[in-house]
Every structure is written in structure tokens, then in C-alpha cells.
A = this chain, B = another copy of it.
């Protein structure tokens, strides 16, 4: 029997996708071979990757001056790969720090900055911040000459989400966003960004795949000589993400997820459900009389990742044990912030949130 899986990633996938993947395992569409066994340069896999790319572009409403790359290494690899490709000699990259992941991106960029001869700086967020609100920044904080300004538009650990209305005005400085944990959960205007990237293992598919969406003018500039081809956006784009063998099966599963999303009505339809799911859970927390608590300011609360605390932290092991018995798993909070966390990605059905909220209400009543 399937349980309700609130994991922050790798995360629940649509049952229809998993069923299809199981059915195709030994023989994809009469080819006599499974997707995992196909040459990445053969016609069958070419169809798979092209369809995945086209469906993703369609879901995002992607303008034709953007390219989609399928890479490896997760978002973490992009933390280094981005400055290696785009931080210029004597250049500057600015990082808006809204939680643990944007802080990691800044740190990784700082490590490779000396290679490029550029530098990086934080424009908002500091080590004392508890990341319970969107950062306060004025437009003056941004250098219009910056090589780029980096954001993490949904912070998986701190449960902080930045919607488009809160994006900074950086004038000519191009925006880059790590959207790993909320891509495809709501309509987004990709034109606001020069580049967007996402580790697949939350809203897209299996781990081991990174989706990169990049404006084509960024691919025209040749990166430094010392940059390995595998890490060069320009070279990867020129080879259609096939400089070497890509993670073929992960791309195929992502493609099934894209088809599933289209069948659900696309990202606008997903957003309606995601708003409802998040509203149910935050209401349960806020109406618990302090038994549960989420400290994030309401306009910054993530629809995807909902961290919350118990007034009595000693009850956490019991909560997790009873939740597991009720078929609700992966509710433990990230070790750096403690407490509990429920991730409500696209593939998590609203039924799961209803069961969780009923469980939480009952647990609060019996333990308060």
C-alpha cells in the first residue's frame, strides 16, 4: 500500500508516471529494449529527449530565445558552474540570501571567484537572520553593472518563497534563480531571468538530473579556456546536452512527469491545487492555539515546503511515530532548523494534506 510521502526530495512522483515507467521497463513502445538500455544517440532516445524538451517549454510558455539543457550534478553543481561560466574578470555577482540554499550558493561562488578574477557579495540576508521573512532590499543595493544577481526563489529548508511581485529591480543586471523546489508549481515569467535552474528531484523527476533554462545570448560568450567542456554552458548547448552520455532514464521519467502535468491542465491548474493544499496546512498550524507554529511572514510562506515547530519539542518523536502509523512519512524537519516539515510538491495529492491536517488536529487535541 502506498503511503503519503512528504519528503523534501527526492520526493513523491505521480503514480501514473511510476506505473508507466514500470510498464516500459523491458520494452519501450515496441522497440524491444528498455529506456535505460538505449543508446543516447539512437532515434528512440532522441524522440524521448526532444519530447521532454518540447513539453517543458510548453509548460513554461518558454520564449524561443531560451534554451533548455539537461545536466547532472544537481543545483549544488550550478552553485559553482554559474560563476565559472559567468563571473567576469574584475566582475561582480550579487547574491540575495533568503535561506540556507542561497547562502550555500554564495559560499560556493566565493570559492571559485578567485579563478575568474571576479568577486561575489551578499545584498541581503546575514548570518544572524532566521530567514523568517523575505529580505528587505532597496533597488539601490543592486549594481546595474553586476554580471548577475542570484536568488533562490523557494527555500526548501526555511520555507520561504519569493513570488514575482517581490523580485528586485536590478536594472541591467541579469537575474539567475535556483527554482529547484518550486519550478512548475505555479506560472512564472521566465523572461524575468537570464537563467533558471532546478535539481529534478522535487517537482520534476528522479535525482541525478538538473534542468537549466538559459537565454541564448548567454550562450554566445565563450567561457574561460580552463573551464572543462562538461561545465561549459556554451559547449553543452552546442551539443544539445549530449557532450557525453546524459542521465537518460531520469530524462525519460521527467518527460513522463511533464506529460502528466499537461494532462492535469498545466501549471495554472497545479497552482490552484497548490494554493489549496498550502492553505489547508497553514490554517491548521495557525489555528492550533500555538500547539504548532510556523514563524514565516505570511507573504513569504512557501506553498511547497512548510516547516513548523511544536510548542513542546519533546513530542516530536511521538508525532513522527503516530504519523507513520497513519501512513504519513518524511515529516521530520531539516536537522539545521529542527521541528517538522511537510513538502507539498505537485505530485502530492490534496487528499494527503487532508489526512495530514486531520491527523495533526487530532494529535494536538489529545496532547495539548
Residues of A participating in the B interface, judged by any CB pair closer than 8 Å? 1-3, 5, 7-13, 15, 18-19, 21-23, 25-27, 31-34, 36-40, 42, 72-77, 79-80, 108, 111-112, 114-115, 199, 201, 205-209, 225-231, 243-250, 253, 327, 329-330
Contacts and interface: CB of A to CB of B under 8 A. Distances in A.
Given A3-B33, A21-B25, A27-B2, A42 B114 contact: no
Given A199-B245, A230-B80, A245-B199, A33 B9 contact: no
Contact of A22 (B25, B226, B329): B25
A12 to B, nearest CB: 5
B37 A247 contact: no
A304 to B, nearest CB: 15
B36 A13 contact: yes
A103 to B, nearest CB: 14
A40 B7 CA distance: 10
B40 A26 contact: no
Given A3-B32, A18-B25, A33-B329, 11 more contacts: A2-B32, A7-B39, A10-B38, A10-B39, A18-B34, A19-B25, A36-B207, A42-B330, A74-B244, A80-B231, A206-B247
14 contacts: A2-B32, A3-B32, A13-B37, A15-B26, A22-B22, A36-B253, A42-B330, A72-B73, A72-B74, A108-B229, A206-B247, A206-B249, A207-B245, A249-B250
Secondary structure of the A side of the interface?
A: loop
A111 B229 CA distance: 9
Name which of A8, A37, A227, A253 has the most chain B CB atoms within 10 A of its CB.
A37
A201 B37 CA distance: 8
Given A1-B32, A111-B226, A225-B111, A207 B37 contact: no
A284 to B, nearest CB: 23
Given A25-B19, A25-B21, A250-B249, A37 B5 contact: yes
A7 B35 CA distance: 12
A41 B10 CA distance: 10
Contacts of A244: 73-77, 199
B32 A111 contact: no
A31 B250 CA distance: 22
Contacts of A246: 207-208
A250 B80 CA distance: 24
B73 A230 contact: yes
Nearest to A245: B207
